[in-house]
């Protein structure tokens, strides 16, 4: 542990690791082992005249069934169409599952992309990689999450991190591969700030955003000149080959822990109980509410994982038999959970004037098999699924692409994960021609040559 009020340096028990420095566990967002992280302003990163747009990415871990959610086929045989019926939305001609009545009333705020697909292995991990980075990890290269790229190119606004991940990173989903939720080759200094707590817990706290208790005992004038306090005890750390720490980095580290604005953004108890209940008093619902608060506080990108694993937990992964979920959970638990949180998020962003500069993207890692399996569920199907995109510069109330008669493959306008990433980057105002610094300084294009955003979503 390293203490600001220590009389002499305290030796790290496991070396100079970021999570020990300043007694804060998730200071990865501060990039304390990078030279001038907070001074970064990548050349040409922002498109000329581009607005300052934020993004909330809802990762629907498990892979929702397109046929039971947003691309229903009511005229197909029962073993294809499944147990649920379509309902009308507030946009004429667009129908979605009866499991989402509140979302149906917000359809003018989002668009449905019904022809997303990929050709990689039908496992969760590959889908997680591709939908959050735009690429499949190959040759030992881990590509950065879109929020980490935004962090790299634009940096934080004010006291709050640029990219926050809620509530915890994706855990075991069976593939034992990276899930695409880190900064990859950009370096750990651009990793998201990870909450690592359940915001629906009655005793919810964010210890990594708060200074240790003993720090509050220091006098205010000493805190204002805190660099002077640590000069003596971290001189060895500063001069070490692995840690070139600039004044700006120290300042941001201290600001993040001591800023009242940063702390208040995470304080859900400030929300009226009626608002919290509207989102749903569960982990996902409260994470979505917290995402709205973080966007208001200046966070640029928030990633919300609806679930952490697909094992022994009710999720979108409806194989039909344990340790997975039954198809009935879309009606009984998962569907209402998403419906409450997503519709409340869109509604409040709109009411608060934030939807115009905040994209909201909701997607799984793949779809489900068109035909119901012998266990009464559906299996992995990356050949076609539906995702929701809206807010910011993205249109609402429209449908892009279409699947065939059984939602097994795109019938027209096929959309790849790379195109989804390009759409998000363009929406964020990032020039798609930017190159990022890869390993050994080798430039890696933001998107591959020829990859275009989903232009139908832009006015």
Return the domain boundaries, the chain. Answer: 1-30+207-265, 35-197+269-457
Name residues whose C-beta falls within 8 Å of residue 15's C-beta, 6 or more positions apart in sequence. none
Indicate if the alpha-carbon torsion angle 214, 163, 118, 116 is positive or negative. positive
What is the overall mean pLDDT for the chain? 85
Mean pLDDT score, 174-198? 95
d(CA 457, CA 397): 10
Other CB atoms within 10 A of residue 94 CB: 18
Range scoring the smallest mean pLDDT among 49-53, 88-92, 308-312, 317-321: 49-53
Residue 253: what pLDDT? 53
Residue 449 scores a pLDDT above 70? yes
Question: Is 0.95 topped by the overall pTM?
Answer: no
- pLDDT tens column, 333-358: 999 999 999 999 999 999 999 999 99
Contact status, residue 305 vs residue 167, Cβ threshold 8 Å = yes
CATH of 35-197+269-457, one of 3.40.720.10, 3.40.50.1820, 3.90.420.10, 3.90.180.10: 3.40.720.10
Q: What is the DSSP letter of 362?
A: E
d(CA 317, CA 60): 10
Q: What's the pLDDT band for 121 if we cut at 50, 70, 90? A: very high
Residue 227 scores a pLDDT above 60? no
Name residues whose C-beta falls within 8 Å of residue 295's C-beta, 6 or more positions apart in sequence. 54, 56, 302, 349, 354, 358
Q: What's the pLDDT band for 206 if we cut at 50, 70, 90? A: confident
Residue 257: what pLDDT? 65
SS3 437: strand
| Angle, helix 283-297 to helix 334-351, in steps of 10 degrees | 20
Contact status, residue 286 vs residue 276, Cβ threshold 8 Å = yes
Residue 426 scores a pLDDT above 60? yes
Q: Which letter, b or e, does each residue of 404-422 get, where b requires 16 or more Cβ atoms within 10 Å of its Cβ?
A: eebbbebeeeebbbbbbbb
Residue 6: what pLDDT? 42
Residue 25 scores a pLDDT above 90? no
Range scoring the smallest mean pLDDT among 40-44, 319-323, 448-452: 40-44
Contact status, residue 27 vs residue 254, Cβ threshold 8 Å = no
Residue 205: what pLDDT? 86
Residue 24 scores a pLDDT above 50? no
> How far is residue 174 from each of residues 18, 61, 138, 182, measured CA to CA in Å?
29, 12, 18, 19
Residue 249 scores a pLDDT above 50? no
Q: What is the DSSP letter of 369?
A: -
Mean pLDDT score, 150-177? 95
Mean pLDDT score, 71-86? 97
Cis peptide before 323 (omega within 30 of 0): yes
HEC per residue, 55-70: EEEEECCCCCCHHHCC
d(CA 380, CA 314): 16
Residue 50: what pLDDT? 64
Query: How is residue 344 written in tokens?
Result: 């409340």
Indicate if the alpha-carbon torsion angle 150, 155, 158, 159 is positive or negative. positive
Q: What's the pLDDT band for 175 if we cut at 50, 70, 90? A: confident
Query: How is residue 265 written in tokens?
Result: 């953004």
What is the torsion angle, in degrees rounded to the nearest 10, for the CA atoms of residue 324, residue 329, residue 333 and residue 337?
90
Whose tokens are 């509050």? That residue is: 216
SS3 96: strand
Residue 305 scores a pLDDT above 70? yes
Residue 424 scores a pLDDT above 80? yes
Residue 16: what pLDDT? 38
Give the containing element (helix H, strand E) for 284.
helix 283-297
d(CA 131, CA 133): 6
- Rounded to a whole number of angstroms, the distance between the first and last alpha carbons of the chain is 52
């Amino acid at each position: 542990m390293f203490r600001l009020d220590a009389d002499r340096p305290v030796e790290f028990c496991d070396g100079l690791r970021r999570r020990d420095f300043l007694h804060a566990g998730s200071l990865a967002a501060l990039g304390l082992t990078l030279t001038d992280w907070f001074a970064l302003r990548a050349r040409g990163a922002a498109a000329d005249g581009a607005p300052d747009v934020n993004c909330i990415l809802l990762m629907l871990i498990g892979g929702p069934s397109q046929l039971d959610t947003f691309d229903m086929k009511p005229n197909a045989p029962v073993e294809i169409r499944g147990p649920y019926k379509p309902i009308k939305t507030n946009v004429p001609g667009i129908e979605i599952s009866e499991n989402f009545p509140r979302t149906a009333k917000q359809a003018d705020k989002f668009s449905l992309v019904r022809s997303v697909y990929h050709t990689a292995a039908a496992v969760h991990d590959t889908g997680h990689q591709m939908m959050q980075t735009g690429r499949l990890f190959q040759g030992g290269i881990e590509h950065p999450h879109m929020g980490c790229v935004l962090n790299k190119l634009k940096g934080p606004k004010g006291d709050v991190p640029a990219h926050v991940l809620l509530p915890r990173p994706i855990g075991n989903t069976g593939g034992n591969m990276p899930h695409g939720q880190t900064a990859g080759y950009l370096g750990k200094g651009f990793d998201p700030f990870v909450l690592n707590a359940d915001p629906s817990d009655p005793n919810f706290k964010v210890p990594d955003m708060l200074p240790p208790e003993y720090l509050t005992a220091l006098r205010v004038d000493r805190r204002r000149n805190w660099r002077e306090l640590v000069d003596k005890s971290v001189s060895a750390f500063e001069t070490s080959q692995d840690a070139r720490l600039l004044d700006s980095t120290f300042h941001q580290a201290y600001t993040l822990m001591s800023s009242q604005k940063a702390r208040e953004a995470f304080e859900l108890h400030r929300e009226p109980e009626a608002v919290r209940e509207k989102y749903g008093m569960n982990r996902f619902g409260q994470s979505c509410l917290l995402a709205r608060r973080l966007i208001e506080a200046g966070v640029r990108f928030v990633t919300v994982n609806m679930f952490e694993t697909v094992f022994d937990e009710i999720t979108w992964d409806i194989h039909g038999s344990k340790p997975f979920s039954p198809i009935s959970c879309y009606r009984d638990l998962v569907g209402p959970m998403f419906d409450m949180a997503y519709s409340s998020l869109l509604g409040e962003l709109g009411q608060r004037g934030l939807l115009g500069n905040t994209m909201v993207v909701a997607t799984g890692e793949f779809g489900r098999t068109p035909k119901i399996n012998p266990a009464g569920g559906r299996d992995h199907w990356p050949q076609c699924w539906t995702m929701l995109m809206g807010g910011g510069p993205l249109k609402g109330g429209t449908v892009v692409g279409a699947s065939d008669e059984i939602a097994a493959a795109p019938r027209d306008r096929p959309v790849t994960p790379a195109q989804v990433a390009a759409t998000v980057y363009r929406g964020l105002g990032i020039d798609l021609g930017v190159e990022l610094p890869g390993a050994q300084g080798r430039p890696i294009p933001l998107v591959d040559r020829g990859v275009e955003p989903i232009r139908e979503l832009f006015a």
